[in-house]
Amino acid sequence: MLRGFVEVTVWDRDGKVVQRGRQEMRSFINNFLKILEALFRAGQGSATTTTLTDTGGSSKTVYVEWYSPGVGSGIDYAGGTPMACNASSGDDSYGIVVGSGTVSLALDQYSLASKISHGTSSGQLSYGPMTFEDLGLDQTVSPPVYRMRLIRTFINLTSSAININEVGIVARNHWKNAGSVIIDVRYLIARDVLATTYTVPAGGGASVAITIEVEVG
Amino acid sequence: MRVRAELIVESDGKEVFRGESKSFLLNFCKVLYRMLATTGSATGSVTGVISSATVTDTSGYSQTAYIEWYTGYMYVGGGTPAGMNGPDNDDSFGIVVGSGSASVSPTDYRLASKISHGTGSGQLDHDTHATTTSFSSTSSYIELARTFVNRSSGDVVVREVGIVARSLWKNNGGVANDVRYLIARDVLPSPVTVKPLGVLVVRYRITLTT
pLDDT for position B171: 87
B75 burial (CB, 10 Å; 0-12 / 13-18 / 19+) is middle
Q: Which helix (H) or strand (E) holds A135?
A: strand A131-138
How do residues B116-133 score in pLDDT, each as one tens digit?
Answer: 999 999 999 999 999 999
Q: Where are the alpha helices (DSSP H) in A117-191?
A: none
Over residues A104-124, mean pLDDT: 97
Residues on chain B touching A134 (C-beta within 8 angstroms): 33
Over residues A115-128, mean pLDDT: 98
The residue among B26, B27, B36, B169 with the most chain A CBs within 10 A of its CB, best to mutate, is B36
From the list A72, A75, A81, which residue is nearest B40 (CB)? A81
| Domain residue limits at A164 | 2-215
Test B50 with A217 for CB contact under 8 angstroms: no
| Domain residue limits at B15 | 4-209
State how many domains chain B has.
Answer: 1
- The answer, yes or no, to whether residue B43 has pLDDT greater than 90, is no
State how many domains chain A has.
Answer: 1
From the list B38, B73, B76, which residue is nearest A86 (CB)? B38
From the list B40, B129, B141, which residue is nearest A84 (CB)? B40
Test A174 with B37 for CB contact under 8 angstroms: no
pLDDT for position B35: 96
Test B138 with A78 for CB contact under 8 angstroms: no
How do residues B176-186 score in pLDDT, each as one tens digit?
Answer: 999 999 999 99
- Report the chain B residue with the minimal C-alpha distance to residue A176: B70
Test B24 with A1 for CB contact under 8 angstroms: yes
How do residues B68-127 score in pLDDT, each as one tens digit?
Answer: 998 887 777 889 999 999 999 999 999 999 999 999 999 999 999 999 999 999 999 999
- Report the chain B residue with the minimal C-alpha distance to residue A213: B29
Distance separating alpha carbons of residues B68 and A126, to the nearest angstrom:
28
Main-chain dihedrals φ then ψ at residue A33, nearest 5 degrees: -65, -35
**Residues above pLDDT 90, as percent of chain B:** 84
Mean pLDDT lowest among A73-87, A94-108, A152-166, B150-164: A73-87
Interface of B with A in 89-118 (CB under 8 A): 93-94, 104-108
| Bridge partners for A188 per DSSP | A170
User: B2 pLDDT band (50/70/90 cuts)?
Assistant: low
pLDDT for position A173: 97
pLDDT for position A72: 74
User: B45 pLDDT band (50/70/90 cuts)?
Assistant: confident
How do residues A36-91 score in pLDDT, each as one tens digit?
Answer: 999 999 999 999 999 999 999 999 999 999 988 877 777 777 889 999 999 999 99
User: A177 pLDDT band (50/70/90 cuts)?
Assistant: confident
How far off is chain A from B200, nearest CA to CA, in Å?
Answer: 19
